[in-house]
Amino acid sequence: MYAFEYQRPASVKDAVALVGDETVFLAGGQTLIPTLKQRLRQASAVIDLGAIPELRGISATADAVTIGAMTRHAEVAASPDVHAAIPGLARLAGQIGDLQVRNSGTLGGSIANNDPAADYPAGLVALNAVVHTNTRTLPSEEFFTGMFETALAPGELVVKVVFPKPKRSAFAKFRNPASRYAIAGVFIADTADGMRVAVIGAGPGVFRVPAMEAALAKDFSARVLAGITIAADGLNEDMHATAAYRAHLVGVMAAKAVASLT
């Protein structure tokens, strides 16, 4: 690990004021700390967001659930408000990594890192969530821009995410047995804006499947997905799974998610 300064501000305003060349924000540290330790990343200063109360917490209204950026995965998974309003999101959070990861990792850190196999991007896109930063609001589909890339500008940080309450939602994933990362995962949400199907793990970033959305809008049943194929072109291929296998898994996980709701 290269040497760096450690800062622990008490407010978002103070955190942003500390931003300089090669500074990084520390949320849950599940990706940042290992990369720093292995000298895969160098920082002049690490700004720890853990002491900022305004970045934590879960609140619910009749129409939406708001989750602070520094809220842990375990807190989302256990929240009565999330379970009542968006059970699919609670299930997603409860499947992230292992117990240690869920008690350390955060919503904001996960989406800001935007690992292609991370679970939260599927929940955000399927639920048509809105990301609030310290300077603006961004629809989730504009927030995620590419593999490990987001629309966040230098010095901009996620403050909270607002999830509109869907009519119903479900998440299913086929996970690597060692890392628990998704080889393919599908979040399905019946929203006020229509049916939305979002996929993670299979491609370089979260993506929607319009053919599945159209089919489910007409008949919400697993059987209507049987004839829909996912093109393998452009999907991830590695030692864990071929692109063709991931394409197949998208259909399997989508059917599994729908079956859990019917």
Tokens found for residue 187 = 């979040």
CATH number, position 28: 3.30.43.10
User: pLDDT by residue for the chain (262 residues), tens digit each?
Assistant: 889 999 999 999 999 999 998 999 999 998 899 999 999 989 999 999 999 999 999 999 999 999 999 999 999 999 999 999 999 999 999 999 889 999 999 999 999 999 999 999 999 999 999 999 999 999 999 999 999 999 999 999 999 999 999 999 999 999 998 888 899 999 999 999 999 999 999 999 999 999 999 999 999 999 999 989 999 999 999 999 999 999 999 999 999 999 999 7
CATH number, position 237: 3.30.390.50
In a domain, 205, yes or no: yes
Q: How many CA atoms lie within 13 A of 38 on its CB side?
A: 6
In a domain, 152, yes or no: no
Domain's final residue, options 11, 32, 53: 53
Distances (CA, A) of 58 to 68, 73, 94, 248: 6, 11, 16, 36
In a domain, 64, yes or no: no
In a domain, 236, yes or no: yes
- Whole-angstrom distance between the N-terminal and C-terminal Cα of the chain? 50
In a domain, 232, yes or no: yes
Total structural domains within the chain: 2
Residue 2's domain comprises 1-53
In a domain, 155, yes or no: no
Domain's final residue, options 53, 76, 96: 53
Cβ contact 88:151 at 8 Å: no
Which amino acid, residue 129?
Answer: A
In a domain, 201, yes or no: yes
**pTM: predicted TM-score of the whole model, two decimal places:** 0.95
In a domain, 19, yes or no: yes
